[in-house]
Amino acid sequence: MQEKLERRSFIFALLLVTVAFTFLLKPFFTPIFWACAVALIFHPVYRYFSQRYPRWPNLTALMTLMLCIVVVVIPVLLVASSFISEGAGLYQRVQSGEINLGEKVEKVRAAFPGINAALERFGIDFQGLKEKLLGGLMTAGSFLAKNALALGQNTLNFFVSLGLMLYLTFFLIRDGNALVALLIRALPLGDEREKLLLAKFAEVTRATIKGNLVVAVTQGTLGGLIFWALGLPAPLLWGVVMTMLSLLPAVGAALIWFPAALYLYATGEGVKATVLMAYGIAVISLVDNLLRPILVGRDTKLPDYIVLFSTVGGLIMFGISGFAIGPLLAALFMAFWEIFIREFISEEQPLLPPRKPEKIEQIPPE
């Protein structure tokens, strides 16, 4: 009796300390998650270096981390700084009246009179929609301008999080195998189940991040290039916006290039508009339709509709990191249920009750 009480008290204290420690780490959830993701993605590189230099684990982990910084971190920082600078400059031009957004929207309205009729049919006021659209664009521009002019605390927080992520990534790369073995030993789920779940976690994380990022960067780059080739303003800005929107399956970059093509039609730039429309349908959208199922759906073994809903839900719940967290949770959900069905539901206990055979009435011949 005493031993049972002590065991239960210890389990309760263990759960209490674990919950408290989880809340303690809650502010660092994003850098911790991305450190785990980067360590998983670059683990094959570390394994390659380890085979070359087996006696220098610290050196090989540092070499892997430096490669990650050169290939991923520095380009992202350069593009982000250029994006903020270009966005702030565009906002200043709008504020000074050099660019009149309201006039551009009215040009589109005048060029496509059917828009008014279609909106009125659905009970949508065009003027109110226009004000909301312009208000949203001005809010986004104001946000970029404030971040460009007053980086101070935001930049400090960002680089602190980045430093913590890189610091933790080094240890996860170096000690990843030992930590996984310790986790399998500690969790009370059964070693085989834990290995399956951890393998699914690694597989989905690699596929989702690499797949979604490859698709997004490819679409954003192609979109920015066509904007630059057609002489449209701020091609880098719109290329980055298309990259971020491309994280949304199905629609993504079309939210930018399709309205841009309509505006070119409205302003009499028919050739440019036709080129942009054809390029968007035949090239940018084709990248999404071809690469995303191959890189994301196939490797995660998730249906396309699950990938879509989990990605959108993840973005809503977790922000920009949700494009990876959403499909990961979906894959773990399906893995848990797969284990449950395989191990806890026998053939004598089917998931659905057997259907009674229906009586088929014979139709007498005429």
pLDDT above 50: residue 351: no
Same domain, 145 and 240: no
* Residue bearing the bigger pLDDT, 127 or 55: 55
Final residue before a domain boundary, out of 152, 186, 220: 186
Q: Is residue 348 part of a domain?
A: no
Task: Specify the DSSP class assigned to residue 345.
Answer: S
Backbone angles phi, psi at 195, to 5 degrees: -65, -40
Instruction: Show the domain range for 265.
Output: 190-343
The answer to whether residue 366 sits within a structural domain is: no
- Residue 16 is predicted with a pLDDT of 92
Residues 165 and 64 in one domain: yes
- 81 and 98 in a single domain? The answer is yes
Tell me the pLDDT band of 99, cut-offs 50, 70 and 90. Answer: low
pTM: 0.67
Question: Both tokens of residue 93?
Answer: 């031009």
Which of 167, 186, 205 finishes a domain? Answer: 186
Q: Within this chain, do residues 98 and 111 fall inside the same structural domain, yes or no?
A: yes
Please check whether residues 309 and 214 belong to one and the same domain: yes
* Predicted local confidence at residue 152, as pLDDT: 47
Cα(349)–Cα(343) distance, integer angstroms: 12
Domain's final residue, options 186, 205, 223: 186
Q: What is the pLDDT of residue 142?
A: 56
Rg (CA), the chain: 27
Say whether both 228 and 300 belong to one domain: yes
State the CB neighbour count (10 A cutoff) for residue 322: 20
The answer to the question of residue 21 being in a domain is no
Tell whether 10 is covered by a domain: no
Classify residue 103 by burial, with Cβ atoms within 10 Å: 0-12, 13-18, 19+: exposed
Same domain? For 214 and 269 the reply is yes
Residues 271 and 177 in one domain: no
228 with 276, same domain: the answer is yes
Number of domains the chain is built from = 2
pLDDT 10s digits, 128-169: 655 666 566 566 555 555 554 444 445 677 788 888 999 999
Pair (139, 265) in one structural domain: no
Provide the pLDDT confidence category of residue 18 given band limits of 50, 70 and 90: confident
Secondary structure of residue 100 in the 3-state scheme: coil
Q: Which of 64, 328, 319, 321 is nearest to 207 (CA)?
A: 328
Question: How high is the pLDDT of residue 301?
Answer: 64
Q: Which of 226, 223, 275 is nearest to 253 (CA)?
A: 223
Write out pLDDT tens, residues 204-237.
Answer: 777 777 777 777 888 888 888 998 888 887 788 8
**103 located within any domain:** yes
Let me know if residue 156 belongs to a domain.
Answer: yes
Predicted confidence (pLDDT) per residue in 231-247, tens digit: 887 788 888 888 877 77
In terms of phi and psi (left: phi > 0; alpha: psi -120 to 50; beta: otherwise), the region of 302 is beta
pLDDT, tens digit (0-9, with 9 covering 90-100), for 307-323: 778 878 887 888 777 77
Task: Assess if residue 130 is contained within a domain.
Answer: yes
Q: Is residue 23 part of a domain?
A: no
| Same-domain status, 96 and 138 | yes
**Same domain, yes or no, for 279 and 224?**
yes
Percent of the chain with pLDDT over 70: 71
